[in-house]
Every structure is written in C-alpha cells, then in structure tokens.
Amino acid sequence: MHPTGLIIGRFDPPHLGHSYMIRWAAERCTRLVVFVNTKDGEAAPGELRAKWLQDLHPDVTVVRVQHSLHNDWNDADLWNKWMTLLRSKWPLNEGPHVVISSDPYVSELARRFDAEALVCDPERVNVPISATLVRNDPAAHLEKLAPEVRRWVEENWLN
C-alpha cells in the first residue's frame, strides 16, 4: 500500500472509466488525491467536474486546479510551470508517492514528483471509453456516465 497517490486529469466530462481508475488507485493508496485541471472554455465547467468526482468518490480528496497552461511535453519551461502549479495545489504534508494514470505521460510526471508511476488499464479494456469520445458524440456514450453527469450532459449538450 502506497502512503499517497495522485491522479491528474481534465475529466471533461468524468465518465465510468475515470471512476474505475479512481477506485483502482484508492485500493493501492492510503490517501488518494485527484486533481481536476480546468481552464476557461472547456465543455463542462471545472467546478462542476470537481463536484461530480467528489460526490462520486467521497473517500478521496478532489482538488480543482485552475490554470491557463497548455500541454507540450517537449517544453522544459512549460514543464516547470506545470510542476510549480501542481506542487502548490498538493494538499498533504508528504508525497505523492505514486502518480496514477492510463496515459503515457504518467512516467515523466511521476519522475518529476520523485514518485512511482502506476498505470491503470492503458488499453481501456475494463471500461472502454474516453472523455474525447463522450465530447465528440455524447448521445452514443450516455451509458458510460454516472447518472448525475448523464443528466447534465443530456440537458446541456443534447438540447
């Protein structure tokens, strides 16, 4: 069991694959923190995405991380900005000891936190969905959303 773990994502919108990964990680960490990265102009408001995840996973700590940064994993200055921001939001006195994701960037992110990388279901076999699929065709993927998220998507994206 790892003392502390971190999951970082946009969760735009959160889907059952995200919940699978959070439960998987929570089984391996004493304390799990989920960062919801959010910036203006995203499909679902960041504050709402963080609330959904906290409601769905009350035993983890959900932190909304508001930013205006982009992703360019080859830009050292940008990495430094990301790490400064992420470290400033870390709510615990120690850690993270592990960084969990299903995406390939987790190895470098974990290295920069001086943590171990844990990869959860990278082929998305257990819950075959991505937030991109949901955003691109929400009506086709409603069954992969928790009821509260599904209702919001139906009311805001399908009407």
Of 83, 85, 120, the residue nearest 5 (C-alpha): 120
Backbone angles phi, psi at 142, to 5 degrees: -60, -35
The arrangement of secondary structure in 2-128, i.e. its CATH architecture, is: 3-Layer(aba) Sandwich (3.40)
Mean pLDDT of the region 152-156:
96
Give dist(CA 76, CA 85) in Å, integer.
14
Whether residue 104 has pLDDT greater than 80: no
Average model confidence (pLDDT) for the chain?
95
pTM of this structure = 0.95
Q: Tell me which of 159 and 139 has the higher pLDDT.
A: 139
**Digit-coded pLDDT (tens) for 54-80:** 999 999 999 999 999 988 888 999 999
Whether residue 103 has pLDDT greater than 90: no
Domain edges within the chain: 2-128
**Digit-coded pLDDT (tens) for 37-48:** 999 999 899 999
**Rounded (10°) CA dihedral 15, 17, 21, 23:** 70
Return the pLDDT at 39.
Answer: 94
Return the pLDDT at 150.
Answer: 96
